[in-house]
Structures are given as structure tokens and as C-alpha cells.
């Protein structure tokens, strides 16, 4: 069975509506509802006074309707009574301002009072519902990520730092505190990063982000353990968020959840939405080691920056099937019914303000049918990829520091671009995590964009990968520093210099949008570097500008493999050309050859999903895929087995 459903907030509605909800869910084939995410103040209206009756009725009603429940712990949004009783548990921002209640995520995860209250409410839910027949999984909290810089957090940060660095000398060295007289002579002098007069210390900022990720994880783990203890059969998860603001290192968190569950909201209303969807799904599958679950996406809206865009007919289906093709064990949405009020009163829903007689609900009904017909996919092998891209949250965070050589540096943008180029080259792509993994498997090619921080162990793993026959493509700003942001000396790209056979002695950051041409016709639009070859062969040269005639792209034979270096920010088309060339040399095959440019093919198990992102029908062998539509057929042979 593939999960199909989403966030359900019956506490926002009178009970009369609940029966209609269940009837509509049944009509759409919804088989799971996420309940209780933000219902702490309804479950515990006053400290110690619990009201579980309504939730009992909701769970029983869903169960009677054959609908499973992902039961949430409501700890992402403590009630007003809690914050008023424990003002010290409200988060403090970098300016030292204590925030107030009245939104959500108003908690400090290091606060003992908050942690105790969270354990208490989670424990009550566990006690009452751990054996409820509707319970399919626990959904702890919501999108962990709240940042706090209070004094309690400061103490927790110091404890974490002592464990990591051992003694102050090691910390002073790792943080290069000799710079600007920042040497610490007692642990108590160390604060969470707060607003400073001028540039702050990047190693300090990075350790704080690592600390915060671990601290939040501690909050998750303690709830997980008590939920597990109540019934070890029920999987426990929390929804990971994807996007521009991410406070936790999901590659690490993935080891602690029973199912990797991911929220994803593309923010491009154009064709970029499909590329973002593919990126998010491939990354989620990487975290999940092959399997994952789409926990939230917007059914009928794309939130672009500053405006909500209504999805065109068929787009809900295409996006949902894209996640499923890429390994999701279902498709879930935020949210079931659009609210009458509250901060997100116009946010996306399967049952919008206009009711079920709407395009979105009709499409959901058809999609429910499609997903039922695809139930065998739930147990199919994940998509198999022969190429991979690296992802490393600490490198992202480190490249958000002030004091970098260019304000145009964009880690997420660079990783997305690498993935997009492979997507357009029709290569099924995985992600690998050099910060947590020790080997890179059998990928024919691995692309390494902006991997700024590299440990000695990761550098050795890359060396082994190439020596054993792998093809590595490293882009500028990779290998530069050790995990604590200390620069690797002797020339960039430090950790990769030997396998790449190059030495970079100068950076020439160009404003993004600049036109840079290479002698073989490739073009770049940002950043150039002075590269000296030390064993590598030059593939292309800078054709003009300050580095005219100097190497721009190089290749080094190393062991049985090859390592390419891209010293400039290639445009999308040029990166696609280059990566396609390396993929050919590496023997990586697209899912299907000869596809029209606007058609995307994903293979999962024995099924082939064909997506037409164009505006006219596309002929793909024996199948015509309508504009904006999806066709699914056996990858082995035979006719289409499902329709979108």
C-alpha cells in the first residue's frame, strides 16, 4: 500500500464536520491522516488538565473509516500557559531579544522546563494511544529547527564543546582564536553566537550550528525512546524540512528515525518546480538509504517568494508521482482541509475553502485511484542510480559565513545546479554524504559541488573511489578547509589537490551574471581561478579575461579512474554538456535513450514512470504522454498500467 493523505486538524472544526471529513477521505481513497501536530493547547488546556476525549473520538472515527493515523506529538507549539509559566523557555534571538508566544516554535530546546513538558505530553499520548488500532506511525514534533541563543543554551553549548574539543587549547586552536584576540581562558567566556560589532568567528558559528542540530536531535530522541518503549512495533519519525533555511544535519538525523519523512514545497512556479521536486526526492531517498516518505507538500498551491501560485490541472498528480517514482512510500499533503483562520488561512489544501466540488479535490480522487493501482510500487526496489552528487550540511553552513571571497557563493544553488544538469541529461541521480559515510559504493560518476569542508577520512574515501575506477567531478570551493574551517595549506582545492593533479593559487570571483567563455565553447557566468596543473591534462582553457590561456577544466587519470576539476561556475547548459561527457566516459547510462527533452523517465522496480513537462503530447515509443501528464508502464514490457 502507498500512503495517501495528509495533515488533518479536526481541532479547528466543530465535530459535525468530522463525519464529512471521513466520508470525503474515503471518497478520495485517503488511507492516512497526520493528527495532532499543533494540538497541545487542545490536549492540555491548562497545566496537568488533559482533554483526550476529542482525540479518542477522532481516532475512532478514522479507524472506523479504515484510515490509519500518523499521530503527532504537539511539542513544536507549546500553549500560552506554558510560555507564561516558563518565560525562560522562550527563544532568544541573536540580538538577545526574547521572543513571545503567539506564533509557533516558541520554545528553547535546551530549556529543562520545555523538555520536561514535552516528555510529559508525549508520554501521555504514548500511554493512551500506543496500541490504538489506527496508529500507523508516530510523528514527533514538526520540522525541528528552532534556534535559541539564551543563557541556558549557552551552558548546553559549552557542555557540547567540552565533549567535542576536550580542552580549551584544542578549541582555541580549532577556532583560530589567536585572530582578533579571541582566546578563551575559561569555558564560561564562550557564548552562543550573538550580534557582534563586526565580523564574527566562522568556526564558532559553525560549531554552534552543529551543536544546535545535535541539541534538537536530543529533543527528538528522548521522545522517540519513550514512544518506542510504549510499543516497539510502531515506527517513529519526524518531518524533515527542505529548503533555504535548515538548522539540522539530516544526513545524521536519518540514522535516528525509523522512516525518513520529508516536507517539500517547491518555490518555482515554472518548470523549475519539477526539477526541485526531483532534487528533493532524490536527496530524501539518500537520507533514507533508499526509502522515505513524502510527509507534506502543497496539493494545489506553489508558494513562490511572495505569491501563491495555483497549480495547473494535472500538476498535483505529476508532482506526487514524481516523489513516488523516486522512492517515496506514498504522497501526503499539508493539508486536508483549508482552515477558516489562523496564520496560514490561505495555505494549500485538498479540501479548499470552496469545498470538495473543486478541481483539486477531483484531482485528488483520481490520484487516490492511481496510487491504489500502484500499490505494488510500495515494496519495489528504489530507483537505481549510477551517478551521485554530494551533500554536506556543514559545508553549506560554513559557506554562509561572513568574510567569504564573494557574496554570490551559494552552496544550495550549486548542489541544485549539479542535480539539475544530471536531471536534464536524463541520468537518475543519488546523493552521497561525505560527512557521514565512509565509502561511495559503485557509482560510475560522483559530482562534488562546493564541498568546502572535507575531513581526512572523506578525502581518503574519495581517493579510494577514484583509484578503484570511479569518475569524480569536483567544482571550485571544494576541499578548501578541514571540518573546523581551518584552511588546508599549499594551494586549493586542498583535500583534492593530489587526486585532481592541480593547484589553485588565486581566486578571481566574478559577479554572477558575468560572461566567461572557454576555448571549447563552454560558458560560465561566475567565478574564475588561476589553476596550475600538476599532472592533470587541460580539457579547456579560459578564452578571455584576466586568466586567458590558463586551464579552466582539467582531468587527471588517477589509479583506474579519473578526477575532473571545474574551476569556474559553468552555466546550466555547459555543466550539462560537461557532465554528460564525463558520464559517457564513465559508462553511466540514462534511464531511456532518445527521449524528447521535455520527457523525464524514472524507473522504480519494474515500473517506468514517464513525465511530460512540455506543452504538447510526447510520443515515447508505444506510449503517448499528454502535455503535463504522466504515464506508467512496465519497464520490462507491456502497456501502460496506470494513468495520471
Q: Which partner from the list ligand GAL, Zn ion, none does 327 bind, CB cut-off 5 to 8 Å by kind? A: none
**Cell triple for 298:** 502543497
Q: What is the DSSP string of 509-556?
A: ---TT--EEBTTS-EEEE-EEEEEESSPEEEEEB-SGGGTTSEEEEEE
Residue 631 near residue 643, CB atoms below 8 Å: yes
Q: Is residue 230 within the footprint of Zn ion (CB under 5 A)?
A: no
Exactly one of 108, 389, 445, 516 binds Zn ion (CB under 5 A); which one?
A: 108
Contact 530, 547 (CB under 8 A): yes
* 106 binds ligand GAL, rule: CB under 6 A: no
Q: Which of 97, 106, 15 is nearest to 55 (CA)?
A: 15
Task: Tell which positions 473-532 bind ligand GAL, by CB under 6 A.
Answer: none
- Residue 170's nearest CA partner among 560, 525, 484 is 484
Please tell me whether residue 150 binds Zn ion under the rule CB under 5 A. Answer: yes
**C-alpha distances in angstroms, 243 versus 277, 601, 624?**
11, 25, 34
* Helix, strand, coil percent content, the chain, rounded in steps of 5: 35, 25, 40
Binders of ligand GAL among 133-152, rule CB under 6 A?
142-143
One character per residue 332-351, x = contact with ligand GAL (rule: CB under 6 A): --x---------x--xx---
- Out of 24, 148, 446, 454, the only residue in the binding site for Zn ion (CB under 5 A) is 148
CA distances 82 to 114, 122, 420, 434, Å, are: 8, 15, 45, 41
Taking the C-alpha atoms of residue 534 and residue 149, their distance in angstroms, rounded to an integer, is 46
Least separation, in Å, of the C-beta of 303 and ligand GAL? Answer: 7
Widest CA span of the chain, in angstroms?
76
Residue 334 beta carbon to ligand GAL: minimum distance, rounded to whole angstroms:
4
153: partner contacted, choices ligand GAL, Zn ion, none (Cβ within 5-8 A by kind): Zn ion
Residue 187 and residue 219 in contact, taking contact as beta carbons nearer than 8 Å: no
Binding mask 271-310 for ligand GAL (x = CB under 6 A): -------------------------x-x------------
List Cα–Cα distances, 232 to 59, 239, 293, 315, in angstroms.
Answer: 20, 20, 20, 38
Element (H, E) at 239: strand 239-241
User: In this chain, which stretch among 101-109, 117-125, 327-335, 398-406 interacts with Zn ion, using CB under 5 A?
Assistant: 101-109
CA angle 588, 592, 596 (to 5 degrees): 120
Contact 357, 372 (CB under 8 A): no
Q: Which of 34, 73, 153, 223 binds Zn ion (CB under 5 A)?
A: 153
Number of residues that bind ligand GAL (CB under 6 A): 10
In this structure, are residues 360 and 354 in contact, taking their beta carbons and an 8 Å threshold? no
Nearer to ligand GAL, 142 or 317 (CB): 142
3-state secondary structure of 60: helix
Binding string, residues 153-192; x marks residues near ligand GAL by CB under 6 A: ----------------------------------------
Q: Is-catalytic flag, 529?
A: no
Give which of Zn ion, ligand GAL, none residue 495 binds (C-beta under 5 to 8 Å, depending on kind). none
Judged by beta carbon, residue 212 or residue 259, the one nearer Zn ion is 212
Choice between 59 and 148, CB closer to Zn ion: 148
Residue 145 or 483: the one with the smaller Cβ distance to ligand GAL is: 145
Of 21, 214, 215, 263, which lies in the binding site for ligand GAL, with binding defined by CB under 6 A?
A: 263
Please identify, using beta-carbon distances, which residue of 34 and 322 lies nearer to ligand GAL: 34
**Cα→Cα distances 120→83, 104, 123, 469, 533, Å:** 16, 19, 5, 54, 61
Q: Which does 142 bind (CB under 5 to 8 A by kind): Zn ion, ligand GAL, none?
A: ligand GAL
296 is catalytic: yes
Window 206-245: contact mask with ligand GAL (x via CB under 6 A): -----------------------------------x----
- Residue 538 has which C-alpha cell? 587541460
**Catalytic member of 296, 363, 529, 600:** 296
90 interacts with Zn ion by CB under 5 A? no
Least distance to ligand GAL, CB of residue 103, Å:
11
Does residue 60 belong to the site contacting ligand GAL (CB under 6 A)?
Answer: no
Binding site for ligand GAL (CB under 6 A): 142-143, 241, 263, 296, 298, 334, 344, 347-348
Which residues are designated catalytic? 143, 296
* Contact positions vs Zn ion (CB under 5 A): 108, 110, 148, 150, 152-153
Amino acid at each position: 500500500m502507498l500512503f495517501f493523505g495528509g495533515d488533518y486538524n479536526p481541532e479547528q472544526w466543530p465535530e459535525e464536520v468530522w463525519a464529512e471529513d471521513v466520508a470525503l477521505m474515503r471518497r478520495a481513497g485517503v488511507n492516512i491522516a497526520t493528527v495532532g501536530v499543533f494540538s497541545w493547547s487542545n490536549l492540555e488546556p491548562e497545566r496537568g488538565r488533559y482533554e483526550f476525549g476529542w482525540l479518542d473520538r477522532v481516532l475512532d472515527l478514522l479507524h472506523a473509516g479504515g484510515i490509519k493515523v500518523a499521530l503527532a506529538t504537539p511539542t513544536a507549539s507549546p500553549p500560552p500557559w506554558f510560555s507564561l509559566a516558563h518565560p525562560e523557555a522562550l527563544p532568544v534571538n541573536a540580538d538577545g531579544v526574547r521572543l513571545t508566544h503567539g506564533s509557533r516554535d516558541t520554545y528553547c530546546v535546551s530549556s529543562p522546563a520545555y523538555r520536561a513538558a514535552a516528555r510529559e505530553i508525549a508520554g501521555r499520548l504514548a500511554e493512551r494511544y500506543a496500541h490504538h488500532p489506527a496508529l500507523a506511525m508516530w510523528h514527533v514534533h514538526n520540522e525541528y529547527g528552532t534556534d535559541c541563543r539564551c543563557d541556558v543554551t549557552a551552558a548546553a553549548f559549552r557542555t557540547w564543546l567540552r565533549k567535542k574539543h576536550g580542552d580549551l587549547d584544542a578549541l582555541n586552536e580549532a577556532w583560530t582564536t589567536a585572530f582578533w584576540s579571541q582566546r578563551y581562558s575559561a569555558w564560561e567566556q564562550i557564548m552562543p553566537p550573538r550580534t557582534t560589532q563586526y565580523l564574527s568567528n566562522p568556526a564558532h558559528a559553525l560549531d554552534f550550528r552543529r551543536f544546535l542540530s545535535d541539541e534538537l536531535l536530543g529533543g527528538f530522541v528522548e521522545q522517540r525512546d519513550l514512544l518506542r518503549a510504549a510499543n516497539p512495533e510502531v515506527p517513529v519519525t519526524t518531518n524533515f524540512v527542505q529548503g533555504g533555511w535548515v538548522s539540522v544535519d539530516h544526513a545524521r538525523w536519518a540514522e535516528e528515525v525509523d522512516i525518513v519523512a520529508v516536507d517539500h514545497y517547491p518555490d518555482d512556479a515554472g518548470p523549475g518546480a519539477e526539477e526541485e521536486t526531483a532534487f528533493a526526492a532524490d536527496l530524501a531517498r539518500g537520507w533514507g538509504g533508499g526509502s522515505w516518505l513524502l510527509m507534506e507538500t502543497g496539493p494545489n498551491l506553489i508558494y513562490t517568494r511572495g505569491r501563491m501560485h495555483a497549480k495547473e490541472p494535472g500538476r498535483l498528480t505529476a508532482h506526487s508521482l514524481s516523489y513516488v517514482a523516486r522512492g517515496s512510500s506514498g504522497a501526503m499533503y499539508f493539508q486536508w482541509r483549508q482552515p477558516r483562520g489562523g496564520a496560514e488561512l490561505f495555505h494549500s489544501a485538498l479540501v479548499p475553502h470552496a469545498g470538495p466540488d473543486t478541481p483539486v479535490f477531483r484531482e485528488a480522487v483520481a490520484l487516490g485511484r492511481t496510487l491504489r493501482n500502484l500499490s505494488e510500487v510500495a515494496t519495489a526496489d528504489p530507483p537505481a542510480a549510477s551517478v551521485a552528487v554530494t551533500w554536506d550540511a556543514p559545508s553549506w553552513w560554513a559557506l554562509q559565513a561572513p568574510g567569504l571571497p564573494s557574496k554570490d557563493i551559494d552552496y544550495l544553488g550549486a548542489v541544485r545546479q549539479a542535480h539539475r544538469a544530471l536531471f536534464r541529461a536524463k541520468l537518475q541521480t543519488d546523493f552521497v554524504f561525505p560527512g557521514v559515510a565512509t565509502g561511495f559504493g559503485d557509482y560510475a560518476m560522483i559530482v562534488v559541488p562546493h564541498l568546502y569542508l572535507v575531513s581526512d577520512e572523506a578525502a581518503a574515501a574519495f581517493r579510494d573511489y577514484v583509484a578503484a575506477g570511479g569518475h569524480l567531478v569536483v567544482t571550485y570551493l571544494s576541499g578548501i578547509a578541514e571540518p573546523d574551517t581551518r584552511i588546508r595549506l599549499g594551494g586549493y582545492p586542498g583535500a583534492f589537490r593530489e587526486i585532481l593533479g592541480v593547484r589553485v593559487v588565486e581566486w578571481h570571483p566574478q559577479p554572477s551574471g558575468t560572461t566567461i567563455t572557454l576555448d571549447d565553447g563552454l560558458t560560465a557566468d561566475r567565478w574564475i581561478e588561476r589553476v596550475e596543473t600538476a599532472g592533470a591534462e587541460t580539457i579547456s582553457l579560459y578564452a578571455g579575461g584576466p586568466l586567458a590561456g590558463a586551464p579552466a577544466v582539467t582531468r587527471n587519470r588517477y589509479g583506474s579512474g579519473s578526477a575532473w576539476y571545474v574551476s569556474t561556475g559553468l552555466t546550466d547548459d555547459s555543466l550539462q554538456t560537461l557532465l554528460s561527457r564525463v558520464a559517457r566516459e564513465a559508462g553511466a547510462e540514462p534511464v531511456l535513450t532518445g527521449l524528447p527533452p521535455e520527457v523525464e523517465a524514472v524507473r522504480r522496480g519494474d515500473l517506468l514512470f514517464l513525465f511530460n513537462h512540455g506543452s504538447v503530447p510526447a510520443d515515447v515509443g508505444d506510449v503517448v504522454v499528454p502535455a503535463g501528464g504522466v504515464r506508467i508502464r512496465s519497464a520490462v514490457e507491456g502497456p501502460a498500467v496506470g494513468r495520471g
